[in-house]
């Protein structure tokens, strides 16, 4: 049998298997997006039918003149397979697993077939009739084949419920072959080996459970390991068989895959709530909006662009200097990280006006005399000075002359668009006439008397006119006794002082401007004028004027 025939046989078989697997790639990523497991151990159970391509498959590809391998050749008498796999999901796309598959392949069971003879290597062999001649094989005792695989599996569309996948790896095959079947002298079992490739569809049923359908092919070396037949080992044209140095196993089926760890849904920033503008020192609130289905725990952190940081899905921050800042929120969970940024413009904080050093120069003036009002105003757009008498000014310093005496409160108000500030200044306007008042009329009493005479009330009326004109004058009433009057001198003098005070109050003088004091006997009686015959200078009450300031 020629080399070209061997290559043609290999090409034909592999092409057939590729066509079989390609049928599964027509499905595309569709339906709602899903989350597949990642970083998890998984368990896989599988089962299906097994096709066999080799010396005992009953086809005619051993004949160089009629090599016509077909897809159905390996499944004319199909077997079955069951198995399992345990592996690790590195990410939603890539996994690696170690599996065990038990296969029952009827074509491998040669019990009761053909005559027994001796082959060219002096080995006892069984001659099984083939399409083009006998096939030499040692009599097999069964059809069971075990296979251990190590497979990498890749899903390109991990976010789709249905995704195709490819798998690639290697296998150890424990078939029915021994050294005897390849014209050897021993009967030790021959362990097969070779590459494994497959195509399939993975359907996510739940976040952890999946259903798969797959077509998997294993090329088994050496030729004798799987089926116990290797006609080429006898180097004789008498024997018919497969010229290839390998056999092929094809497993079609499906199963279930279960991940021990639930899949992780990565957290994503869906949006940020940020103030577009803040004032220096003003607290701003920031919030990161993330997908609600993100796998917890989710951690959030903030970088405010000025060296400060924060944590939590919401945070607050106040900037200390004007400028434009990039605020970045970063979220993280086991599925990865995501971030989003916003721009915040910080402007100088508005400054309301302030007043300091409010003053009146002088603070006491006579009617008609000018007073100067001044203060230090900061950040003021407008100044108003209210002099308290119905007149105003709009700048500082402000000068004003009061027409009437009295106590006035000057109010200065500074305003701008952000607020206002005020201060008040007391101003006392007096009368020059009042400044010259140093003494008021005294009044005199009869012997032992404490009531006012007509002369006394006449004198007090003159005093009252002065007090009405000069509201800043207060009066201390000092009353005396001559010492010879019956009764207690202190009591008499106090009664006389009270009588004068009551008269003043009765005529409208504020009691707050008056003070009545009984002094007892006056040691300086001769210093006063003689009120006339029959009265003593000691029986009197003096009205002593003074400023009400500090009275």
Give 321's contacts (C-beta < 8 A, 6+ positions apart). Answer: 280, 306, 346
CA dihedral 495, 497, 500, 506 (to 10 degrees): -80
Tokens linked to 439: 């003494």
Which pTM does this prediction carry? 0.51
What is the separation, in whole angstroms, between the first and last Cα of the chain?
Answer: 142
Lowest mean pLDDT among 226-230, 284-288, 420-424: 226-230
- Strands of 205-322 (E only): list them: 209-220, 247-259, 269-273, 277-279, 283-290, 299-303, 309-311, 314-318
Average pLDDT over residues 516-522: 92
186 burial type by CB count under 10 A (0-12 exposed, 13-18 middle, 19+ buried)? exposed
- Residue 93 DSSP SS3: coil
Lowest mean pLDDT among 202-211, 237-246, 418-427: 237-246
Task: Catalogue the long-range contacts made by 24-30 (C-beta closer than 8 Å, 24 or more residues apart).
Answer: 24/164, 24/199, 24/200, 24/201, 24/213, 24/214, 24/215, 25/164, 25/199, 27/162, 27/164, 27/201, 28/157, 28/160, 28/162, 29/157, 29/159, 29/160, 29/162, 29/163, 30/160, 30/161, 30/162
What secondary structure letter does DSSP report for 221? B
Closest CA to 91 of 255, 209, 261: 261
- 105 pLDDT more than 50: yes
- pLDDT at residue 461 is higher than 70: yes
Q: Which of 62-71, 90-99, 130-139 has the highest mean pLDDT?
A: 90-99
* pLDDT at 231 (0 to 100): 61
Burial 469-499 (b: 16+ CB within 10 A, else e): ebbbbbbebbbbbbeebeeebeebbbbbbbb
Q: Residue 330 in 3-state DSSP?
A: strand
Helix (H/G/I), strand (E/B), else coil: 288: strand
- Structural domains in the chain, sorted by start: 3-259 (2.40.160.20), 269-347 (2.60.40.10), 354-430 (2.60.40.10), 434-547 (3.30.1330.60)
| Per-residue confidence (pLDDT) for residue 186, from 0 to 100 | 59
Q: Tell me which H or E stretch contains 400.
A: strand 398-401
Angle at 109 between CA 105 and CA 114, to 5 degrees: 145
Distance separating alpha carbons of residues 544 and 90, to the nearest angstrom: 108
> What pLDDT is attached to residue 9?
46
What distances in angstroms separate CA 200 from CA 27, 41, 196, one per listed residue? 10, 20, 13
Determine the Cα–Cα distance for residues 182 and 493; give it in Å rounded to an integer.
156
3-state secondary structure of 51: strand
Mean per-residue pLDDT, 133-158: 82
Confidence of residue 130 (pLDDT cuts 50, 70, 90): low
| Mean per-residue pLDDT, 436-445 | 92
Lowest mean pLDDT among 34-38, 70-74, 432-436: 70-74
Q: Look up residue 86 and give its two tokens.
A: 């345990």
How many other CB atoms are there within 10 angstroms of residue 313's CB atom?
A: 15
Determine the average pLDDT of the residues in 317-321. 96
| Residue 49 DSSP one-character state | E
The pLDDT value recorded for residue 33 is: 65
Does the pLDDT at position 213 exceed 60? yes
Helices 489-506 & 454-469 angle (0-180, nearest 10): 50
**Mean pLDDT to the nearest integer, 323-330:** 97
Mean pLDDT calculated for residue range 263-282? 93
Is the pLDDT at 181 greater than 80, yes or no? no
> Residue 30 has what pLDDT?
45
Give the pLDDT confidence score for residue 434 in this predicted structure: 84
- Of 31 and 58, the one with more pLDDT: 58
* DSSP category for residue 160: B
**pLDDT, average across residues 459-487:** 92
Residue 216 · residue 265 · CB < 8 Å:
no
What is the reported pLDDT for 7? 40
- How large is the average pLDDT for residues 354-381? 93
Mean pLDDT of the chain: 84
CA atoms within 13 A on the CB side of 121: 21
């Amino acid at each position: 049998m020629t080399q070209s025939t061997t290559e043609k046989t290999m090409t034909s078989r592999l092409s057939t298997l590729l066509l079989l697997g390609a049928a599964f790639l027509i499905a595309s990523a569709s339906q709602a997006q899903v989350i597949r497991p990642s970083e998890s151990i998984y368990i896989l159970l599988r089962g299906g039918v097994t096709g066999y391509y080799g010396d005992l498959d009953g086809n005619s590809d051993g004949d160089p003149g009629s090599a016509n391998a077909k897809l159905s050749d390996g499944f004319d008498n199909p077997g079955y397979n069951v198995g399992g796999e345990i592996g690790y999901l590195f990410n939603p796309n890539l996994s690696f697993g170690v599996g065990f598959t038990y296969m029952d392949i009827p074509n491998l069971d040669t019990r009761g077939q053909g005559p027994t003879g001796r082959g060219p290597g002096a080995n006892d062999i069984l001659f099984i009739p083939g399409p083009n001649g006998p096939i030499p094989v040692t009599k097999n005792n069964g059809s069971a084949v075990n296979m251990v695989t190590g497979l990498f599996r890749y899903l390109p569309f991990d976010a789709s419920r249905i995704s195709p996948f490819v798998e690639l790896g290697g296998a150890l095959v424990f078939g029915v072959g021994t050294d005897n079947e390849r014209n050897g002298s021993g009967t030790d079992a021959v362990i097969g080996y070779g590459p494994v490739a497959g195509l399939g569809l993975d359907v996510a049923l739940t976040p952890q459970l999946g259903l798969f359908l797959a077509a998997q092919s294993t090329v088994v070396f050496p030729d004798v390991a799987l089926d116990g037949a290797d006609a080429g080992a006898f180097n004789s044209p008498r024997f018919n068989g497969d010229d290839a140095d390998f056999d092929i196993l094809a497993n079609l089926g499906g199963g279930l895959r279960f991940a021990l760890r639930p899949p992780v849904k990565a957290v994503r920033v869906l949006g940020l709530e940020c103030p577009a503008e803040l004032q220096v020192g003003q607290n701003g609130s920031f919030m990161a909006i993330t997908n609600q289905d993100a796998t917890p725990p989710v951690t959030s952190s903030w970088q405010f662009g000025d060296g400060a940081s924060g944590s939590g899905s919401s945070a607050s921050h106040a900037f200390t200097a004007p400028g434009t800042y990039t605020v970045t929120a970063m979220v993280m969970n086991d599925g990865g990280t995501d971030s989003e940024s916003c721009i915040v413009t910080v402007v100088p904080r508005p400054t309301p006006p302030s007043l300091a050093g409010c003053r009146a120069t002088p603070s006491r003036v006579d009617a008609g005399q000018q007073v100067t009002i001044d203060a230090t105003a900061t950040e003021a757009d407008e100044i108003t000075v209210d002099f308290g008498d119905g007149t105003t000014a709009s700048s500082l310093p402000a000068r004003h002359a009061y027409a009437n005496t009295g106590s006035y409160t000057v109010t200065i108000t500074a305003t701008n668009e952000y607020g206002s500030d005020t201060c008040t200044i007391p101003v006392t306007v007096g009368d020059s006439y009042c400044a010259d008042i140093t003494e008021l009329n005294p009044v005199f009493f009869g012997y032992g008397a404490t009531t006012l005479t007509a002369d006394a009330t006449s004198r007090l009326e003159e005093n009252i006119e002065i007090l009405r004109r000069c509201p800043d004058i207060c009066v201390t009433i000092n009353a005396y006794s001559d010492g010879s009057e019956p009764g207690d001198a202190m009591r008499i003098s106090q009664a006389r002082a009270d009588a004068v005070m009551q008269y003043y109050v009765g005529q409208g003088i504020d009691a707050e401007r008056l003070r009545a004091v009984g002094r007892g006997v006056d040691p300086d009686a001769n210093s006063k004028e003689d009120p006339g015959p029959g009265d003593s200078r000691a029986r009197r009450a003096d009205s002593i004027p003074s400023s009400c300031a500090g009275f």
